[in-house]
Structure 1
Amino acid sequence: MDKYMIIVNPISANGKTGRIWPGIAAELSRQGLNYDFQLTSGSKDATRLAKKALQDGYRTVVAVGGDGTINEVVNGFYDEKDGSLINSDSRLGIIASGTGRDFIKSLGYPAGFKETGKILVRGQCRPIDIGQVKYQGYGKEEESSFFINVAGMGMDGETVHRVNHTSKALGGKISFLGGTIMTLVQYRNRELTLEIDGMVRYHGAATLAVVANGQYIGGGMRIAPQAKLDSGYFDIIIANELGKLEMIANLPRLYRGTHLDHPKVYAMKGTHIRCTSRQKVLLNVDGEQPGILDAEFNMAPHRLQVIC
């Protein structure tokens, strides 16, 4: 078996990952996994460590943490200039230990460490799609990154910004639900224009819009129930100017994924999306809040091998 590089974010899940990592490591060793590991120490550290591991000859890099950690590790798989894979044989492994754990729900991945260890030892892979987003960073320069789960605009971006500035001590679902309700109380709908595959498909006030590769956001909200990780296109979901009480009343449907038949919810598909606004609109990318609109999203089908 090849030696894996495991990248651990010890501060994910309010520091829980760092506390339980010794037990995870012992279980992986007991199951016979051959690995090295490194701990992250700051923002974007997981990207740097993943890139170096792949350049040093590791084929498999495993992310231990939440959706943000997985996102950082995935960004380390690709060359910053041309988007090519640093190692053409590279594979991503995941040990989910963060707040949201939304990506693994779409992947059908188990939450238990014993089950995850067995999957990593077995090493079977499937190809999945990834997205690339260009957006305005807070330094007012265009920035670019890859994402594997969901990017969102509007209330979604505001909620992620709020939740990421709290301790998340109550866990993913409660933290995101509380953040959603708190954001909703103060939020004003934003004017958005969405161009999908060269055509303007939406222009007007909106509560939120998401560009989805996976199905879940916010600790279990099934925002894009029809999305598939290997479909070759994004699912785009737009909530058209929902009122505060209307939004709260429909939250149970959002968790169940039964909201697509609501008359103010629009569902579309596409591979190239451009979203613009004359207002300041915060962007969510895989549970992180890196910048604002304008933003451009491109689908990269079957660009990542994931052990599952």
Structure 2
Amino acid sequence: MPRAIVLTNPSSGKGRGARMRDEALPRFHGAGWRTTSLTGRDADEALDLARVAVAEEPDALVLCGGDGMVNLGLQAAAGTEVPVGILPAGTGNDFARYFDLPLRDGVAAAARIVHGSPRTIDLARIGDRYFGGVLAAGFDAVVNERANRMRWPKGQMRYNLATLAELRVFEPRRYVLELDGVERRLDAMLVAVGNGPSFGGGLRITHGAELDDGLLDVVLIKPLGRMELVRTYPKLFDGSHVSHPQYERHRVKRVTVASAGIVGYADGERFGPLPLTVECVPSAARVIA
């Protein structure tokens, strides 16, 4: 009888996490799976629970929540044989989108885990922390940092207001990049390092990035006027920004990104001020898809 340990962030997606878990558990039981349901009081406790769960070697560590919960679970599962299953209940759900998983449908998402098979993927690593998606290290990271300082409003509107506020004052930043040992100095609006192709709920900033090629995709958007940046933004949803003359892409195993005054975010989580060194860890995790 297969066993799943289900770790939930009940507050994900304004309470969708708990509802999605409650939809999914009967589907597991109906398929003959044993389940253990866990909920951490905060991120630190949830990470401890994930590590204990992985040590028990279940057939699946099922993560119910958004990209932050998936990121937390990857810290525990990376480098082990325990596969991760996803019940996507967050706002962006980019990691789930990589595998075309059902969004906000607990029964359908549980069915994918029950009938799916593990796929081996790469992860990106900064120090001893992993991420599966994209490191934001430019305009988008500055917006994240501003939004996290705002107490009002809640949800997506807070990020919309932070974007508008930064658009009024943001100027291109000076970057120093080290791409597989080759130094590059340039001005840019945005620098992103992708293990996967999208962030922010489907913005395909690192369009073309593959999860199992042993490489990171480093994307630069070189200086643009504010109105041109606004016009280019919608193209991120389908990847058509790759034809813009200020777009530049590099594929590397390791990159260091340095710029003053920017804090890097990956999988929606704060990874710390630049400089940050990112390396690709091939075949680091298994995801049921």
Alignment TM-score, normalising by the size of structure 1: 0.86
Deviation at 1:45, TM superposition (A): 2.9
For the 8 Å contact 2:220–2:247, the answer to whether it is kept is yes
Match among 183, 190, 193 for residue 208 of structure 1: 190
Cα deviation per residue 1:93-124 (whole Å; 9 max; x = unaligned)? 11110011111222222223222111111241
Q: Does 1:159 align with 2:143?
A: yes
* Pairs within 5 Å for 1:1-308: 1-78=1-78, 85=79, 88-111=80-103, 112-134=105-127, 144-164=128-148, 179-200=162-183, 202-277=184-259, 279-308=260-289
For the 8 Å contact 1:12–1:65, the answer to whether it is kept is yes
Deviation at 1:12, TM superposition (A): 1.5
For the 8 Å contact 2:66–2:93, the answer to whether it is kept is yes
SS of 1:246's equivalent in the other structure is: helix
Question: What is the rounded CA distance, in whole Å, between the counterparts of 1:106 and 1:89 in structure 2?
Answer: 20
Question: What is the rounded CA distance, in whole Å, between the counterparts of 1:294 and 1:92 in structure 2?
Answer: 30
Question: What is the rounded CA distance, in whole Å, between the counterparts of 1:256 and 1:166 in structure 2?
Answer: 32
Deviation at 1:221, TM superposition (A): 0.8
Q: Tell me, which stretches of 5 or more residues in structure 2 are unaligned?
A: none
SS of 2:227's equivalent in the other structure is: helix
Deviation at 1:21, TM superposition (A): 3.2
Question: What is the rounded CA distance, in whole Å, between the counterparts of 1:166 and 1:7 in structure 2?
Answer: 28
For the 8 Å contact 1:176–1:219, the answer to whether it is kept is no
Alignment TM-score, normalising by the size of structure 2: 0.91
Deviation at 1:178, TM superposition (A): 5.2
Question: What is the rounded CA distance, in whole Å, between the counterparts of 1:162 and 1:18 in structure 2?
Answer: 29
Kindly provide the amino acid, as one letter, of the partner of residue 303 in structure 1: A
Deviation at 1:49, TM superposition (A): 1.1
Q: How many residues align?
A: 287
Question: What is the rounded CA distance, in whole Å, between the counterparts of 1:282 and 1:71 in structure 2?
Answer: 18
For the 8 Å contact 2:137–2:192, the answer to whether it is kept is yes
For the 8 Å contact 2:121–2:285, the answer to whether it is kept is yes
Kindly provide the amino acid, as one letter, of the partner of residue 122 in structure 1: H
* Change over 3 Å in CA distance of 1:126–1:285 after alignment to 2: same
SS of 1:13's equivalent in the other structure is: helix
Q: Tell me, which stretches of 5 or more residues in structure 1 are unaligned?
A: 79-84, 135-143
Deviation at 1:127, TM superposition (A): 0.6
For the 8 Å contact 1:190–1:281, the answer to whether it is kept is no
* Change over 3 Å in CA distance of 1:240–1:185 after alignment to 2: same
Cα RMSD of the aligned pairs, angstroms, is: 2.1
Give the share of equivalent positions with the same residue, in percent.
Answer: 26
Cα deviation per residue 1:151-185 (whole Å; 9 max; x = unaligned)? 110212122234455678666xx665554344323
For the 8 Å contact 2:13–2:65, the answer to whether it is kept is yes
